[in-house]
Chains A and B, each alone.
Chain A
Amino acid sequence: SAVISQKPSRDICQRGTSLTIQCQVDSQVTMMFWYRQQPGQSLTLIATANQGSEATYESGFVIDKFPISRPNLTFSTLTVSNMSPEDSSIYLCSKTERQGGTQYFGPGTRLLVL
């Protein structure tokens, strides 16, 4: 198992503003992941956050909208920029075991954009 924390746990934001979500994991890992879960939907990978290099974004997600930082091996942030109501989702971070690939998830950040 793993202990992963996220801050904030939820927020209500106004359109046009930005929110930075923090993720702290309990052990050093090379890669962390950021997912989005839109209401009633499955999880979609936003990007892979590699320590020491630029994040790798999935198709449909861009750095200007979702900048990511990875300052060390146990911490990452995701910023949701210039928010619109369509960004209302749960944002989850995760870390993975290299053996077998099990991913452990944080509790999520529930974002509502008005």
Chain B
Amino acid sequence: GDSVTQMEGPVTLSEEAFLTINCTYTATGYPSLFWYVQYPGEGLQLLLKATKADDKGSNKGFEATYRKETTSFHLEKGSVQVSDSAVYFCALSDLGGSSNTGKLIFGQGTTLQVKP
């Protein structure tokens, strides 16, 4: 079945450091890919998305490119801030895939802590 694998956390960085969180997926068809963020004590927010190969999603300085050839959707940010400390989830939608229900399949989440 479809699955998403994220790099293990936690990731601890100093402010203004470069961030990469790796995400790879296994899916049939052509899923849409997402990054969601969960700030401490808050709900899940959409950070960015890409719906087809080579699309780049971007928001708040974060970027991720849908790479079909490597089945990856790595999250990057050039200069992190303390306020970016959160848990980041990579996910895929099964729309256009084998079950086509619209449900999301999540990776295990990566905790990012940014120190001043």
Contact = CB atoms under 8 A, between A and B. Distances in A.
Contact of A101 (B36, B102, B106): B102
Nearest to B51: A100
A85 B115 CA distance: 35
Interface residues of B, number: 25
Contacts of A104: 46
B93 interface: yes
Given A101-B51, A102-B46, 7 more contacts: A42-B109, A44-B106, A45-B104, A103-B46, A103-B93, A105-B44, A108-B43
Interface of B: 31-32, 34, 36, 42-46, 49, 51, 89, 93-96, 101-109
A100 B102 contact: no
Given A31-B101, A31-B102, A102-B49, A43 B44 contact: yes
Contacts of A74: none
Given A42-B89, A43-B89, A98 B43 contact: no
A33 interface: yes
A68 to B, nearest CB: 14
A108 B43 CA distance: 6
A22 interface: no
A48 interface: yes
